[in-house]
């Protein structure tokens, strides 16, 4: 309840569910936090290391555990000494090279072609292409895309008003190519208001049940990316890699890093710098072209 965004709450719940599993508990409400001490946490970190989690992921687990134990301390459920011992556990050091894939413009055209070639109703085809256009043409996070409402589109200026992490609002310009793909879907959109992207049946009709919301979830968008093979059937690219491709395309074509940071909704340029992906070929060429230039 102390977390501000739904995304942060979802992440914390996912971590706590994993912690419960590793501790042999049925669910997160059966974890006995008063029994979680320094040794318990260190043993859990060893288990997480054995299953191959990265240092960053282990640090996330540790942060969530410490946050819960802080609340336990403030509620008087653990002693000051207990809490100080828990706080002394250090985060995992080091990092791993993340294999975030990027796609080229040619790969993106291939992706759109695959959407066209799948036997499905026209409405589904137009919706899916619009989703991919906004992922790579606006750099949206999947939860931003799933929460996007029709009222957030300014058709006169071709802008999106996006609410991102920390409830921060930003304005994103739609490229003409992106806007045309979005407009093609909106021309047959089944509703006048509500989510931009809605659930459809196999026949391409709006999926409607009294207990369900019409909008696509972030998980559904993730599964949509898994549905299409961008380069090969075995090589899928998740939504966040499309966001990284957006940033890298802009940077490689001369966009200022500060502008890219604003478009992505980042609070720090350091975060944006991580998003700019340099391929191994780029790095190799930099060495070949710039090292020993006068030798």
Q: Which residues are catalytic?
A: 141, 165, 240, 243, 266, 275
Tokens of 243: 């966001």
**CA dist 293 to 280, 286, 288, 289, Å?**
20, 11, 9, 7
Radius of gyration of the chain (CA): 23
| Beta pairing partners, 163 | 169
Alpha helix stretches (DSSP H) within 152-238: 176-186, 218-227
**Sheet containing 159-163: which strands, arranged edge to edge?**
153-154, 159-163, 169-173
- How many degrees, rounded to 5, is the angle at CA 199 between CA 135 and CA 264? 20
Which of 134, 142, 148, 121 is CA-nearest to residue 207? 121
Tokens of 151: 């009222």
Yes or no: say if 220 and 199 are a contact pair by the CB < 8 Å rule: yes
């Amino acid at each position: 309840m102390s977390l501000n965004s739904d995304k942060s709450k979802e992440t914390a719940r996912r971590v706590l569910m994993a912690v419960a599993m590793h501790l042999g508990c049925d669910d997160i409400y059966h974890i006995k936090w008063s029994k979680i001490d320094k040794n318990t946490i260190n043993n859990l970190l060893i288990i997480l290391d054995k299953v191959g989690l990265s240092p960053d992921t282990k640090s996330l687990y540790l942060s969530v555990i410490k946050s819960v134990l802080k609340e336990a301390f403030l509620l008087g459920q653990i002693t000051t000494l207990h809490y100080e011992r828990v706080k002394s556990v250090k985060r995992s050091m080091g990092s791993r090279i993340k294999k975030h894939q990027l796609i080229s413009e040619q790969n993106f055209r291939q992706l759109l072609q695959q959407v066209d070639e799948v036997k499905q109703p026209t409405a589904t085809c137009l919706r899916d292409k619009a989703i991919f256009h906004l992922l790579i043409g606006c750099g949206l996070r999947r939860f931003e895309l799933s929460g996007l409402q029709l009222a957030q589109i300014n058709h006169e200026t071709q802008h999106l008003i996006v609410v991102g992490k920390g409830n921060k609002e930003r304005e994103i310009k739609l490229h003409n190519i992106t806007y045309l793909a979005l407009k093609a879907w909106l021309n047959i959109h089944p509703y006048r208001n509500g989510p931009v992207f809605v659930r459809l049946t196999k026949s391409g009709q709006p999926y409607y049940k009294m207990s369900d919301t019409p909008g696509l979830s972030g998980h559904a968008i993730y599964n949509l990316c898994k549905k299409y093979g961008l380069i090969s059937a075995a090589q899928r690219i998740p939504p966040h890699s499309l966001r990284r491709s957006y940033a890298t395309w802009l940077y490689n074509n001369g966009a200022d890093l500060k502008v890219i940071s604003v478009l992505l909704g980042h609070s720090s340029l350091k975060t944006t710098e991580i998003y700019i992906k340099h391929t191994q070929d780029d790095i190799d060429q930099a060495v070949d072209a710039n090292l020993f230039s006068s030798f």
